[in-house]
């Protein structure tokens, strides 16, 4: 059986939280876990689940400096940067 140890909690992005404050949403912190007895790490993304007025799930990955698109929308199956996420969410403002 695999055993993991959480080595870091990834906090939600304050800019995204500011954009989704008008929506019904739920946020789940991401985690960086270490597989015990190895040097392997597993990264769970920070999850923003927006329920109303639209239903989408935005995942925020901890990325390196090379990637400029840390967000992924499950329903669109595409990566986005912060500016693009803001544009998408502003289309559905109440």
Every domain of the chain and the residues it spans: 4-91
Q: What is the pLDDT of residues 49-94, one digit of tens each?
A: 999 888 999 999 887 656 678 999 999 999 999 899 989 888 877 5
Give the global pTM.
Answer: 0.85
Which residue in this structure is represented by tokens 């019904």?
A: 24
Nearest to 86 by CA among 27, 30, 22: 22
4: tokens are: 């993991």
């Amino acid at each position: 059986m695999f055993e993991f140890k959480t080595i870091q909690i990834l906090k939600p992005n304050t800019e995204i939280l500011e954009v989704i404050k008008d929506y019904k949403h739920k946020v789940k912190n991401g985690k960086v876990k270490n597989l015990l007895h190895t040097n392997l790490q597993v990264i769970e993304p920070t999850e923003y689940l927006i329920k109303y007025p639209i239903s989408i799930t935005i995942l925020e990955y901890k990325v390196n400096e090379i990637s400029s698109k840390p967000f992924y929308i499950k329903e669109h199956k595409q990566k986005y940067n912060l500016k693009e996420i803001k544009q998408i969410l502003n289309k559905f403002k109440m």
